[in-house]
Each structure stands twice: as C-alpha cells, then as structure tokens.
Amino acid sequence: MNKSQGGSRQGRARALAARLNGRPVVLVGMMGAGKTTVGRRLASRLGRQFIDSDEEIERAAQMTIPEIFEQRGEAEFRAGEMRVIARLLKENDLVLATGGGAFVNPETRALVRAGAVSVWLKADIDILFERVSRRSNRPLLKTADPRATLEKLIAERYPIYAQADVTVISRDVPQDNVAGDVVAALLDHLKT
C-alpha cells in the first residue's frame, strides 16, 4: 500500500480535498459506467456538491433526454450539454457526472481538460450491457441490436475517454468501493 492509499477513509478524503484545492472532479465514460451513482458517493466523501449534467439539462429544458433527442436532435443536445458543462465548471468544490457523450465532443473535452480533474469510469461490455438493459432512458441505444450499438460506441469512444486524467475500473462491486478506488486514483494522480 503506498502513502496516498494509507490512513483512514476520512483522512484520505481530507487529503484529496486539499490536493484538489477546489478544482472540480468530472466523471466521464459510457452509459451505465456508474458516473451518477459513484459520483454521488464521491461527492459525499469529499463533502462536495454533486451535479449530474444530464439531470441539469433535463431540468433546464423541462424535457427528458429522449424528448430532447426526438424533438431537437442530437446536435442541439450536444450544444446545450456543452453550455451547461461550461457553466458548471465555474463552480468550486463540485463533483460533476457528465452524460456518456459529453467528453467525446472536442469542445466539451477541452473545457473539462482545462478546468477540472477528469476521471474515466471504465467498464467492460458485459457489465455495461447488463446495467443499461434495465432501463430505457438512453435514446442512442434504442436500436434493433443495442449490444452491437454499445460495442460500436465503445470502439469509437474508449480511445477518447482514455484522455481523462485518471482511469478507474468500474467493477461489479458495491458502488462505494468504486468511489474509494476513485479517491485512491486521484490521490495518486495529484501526489506532490
């Protein structure tokens, strides 16, 4: 166990908060990777506010994401997503979970890379498929063969998500353990 992983859970969270010095933490990765659920736990450990950009967009537009895609199209969703993320990144002490495609947009990615510490929650196809199969709120997967669509998105996106500052495997273990892995990875990344 290295120095940054030692100490109590609270101590590690305090050390990470100090090293972040207010900088936002932004979670990126595929649908079902756990950005929203792990992000909430991470924020609670760090005593930070948690915001999910998908939820923020739905609130601002007064529409669900499937409705936005249907009525306005993906391009307009992406432009709105970038504006919302640009606004949120101005806040201190934030954990921000982004939608699965946000970091893939070059302008949004540049904003995140410049204004935050980014974490790619990486999961394999079987885990992702099992998780996203339980719900129907993701328009990009409403295809004849959602598993093949997921595979195609993974092939396109993984090299891009890999540009995040740190990568954490989103394993099939309790979400709080994954949040602990994020704390350890960030402490290691920010070590002096």
Ligand X SMILES: O=C(O)C1=C[C@@H](O)[C@@H](O)[C@H](O)C1
Binding-site residue positions: 32-37, 54, 78, 100, 138, 157
Per partner kind, with CB cut-offs from 5 to 8 A, the member of Mg ion, ligand X, ligand ATP, none near residue 128 is: none
Report if residue 37 touches ligand ATP, rule: CB under 6 A.
Answer: yes
Phi-psi region of 42 (alpha: psi -120 to 50; beta: other; left: phi over 0): alpha
The DSSP 8-state label assigned to residue 19 in this structure reads H
Q: How far is CA 75 from the centre of its chain?
A: 20
Report if residue 34 touches ligand X, rule: CB under 6 A.
Answer: no
Contacts to ligand X from residues 65-124, by CB under 6 A: 65, 99-101
Sheet holding 49-52, edge to edge: 49-52, 94-97, 25-28, 117-122, 166-169
Nearer to ligand X, 9 or 135 (CB): 135
Q: Given candidates 25, 26, 29, 36, which one binds Mg ion under the rule CB under 5 A? A: 36
Binding-site sequence positions for substrate: 54, 78, 100, 157
Nearer to ligand X, 48 or 138 (CB): 138
* Greatest C-alpha distance within the chain: 52
Asked if 64 and 58 touch (Cβ cutoff 8 Å), the reply is yes
Distance CA 65, CA 54 (A): 7
- Give the binding range for ligand ATP (CB under 6 A) out of 6-14, 41-49, 142-150, 170-178: 170-178
| Residues near ligand ATP, by CB under 6 A | 29, 31-37, 54, 97, 99-100, 131, 134, 138, 170, 172-173, 175, 178
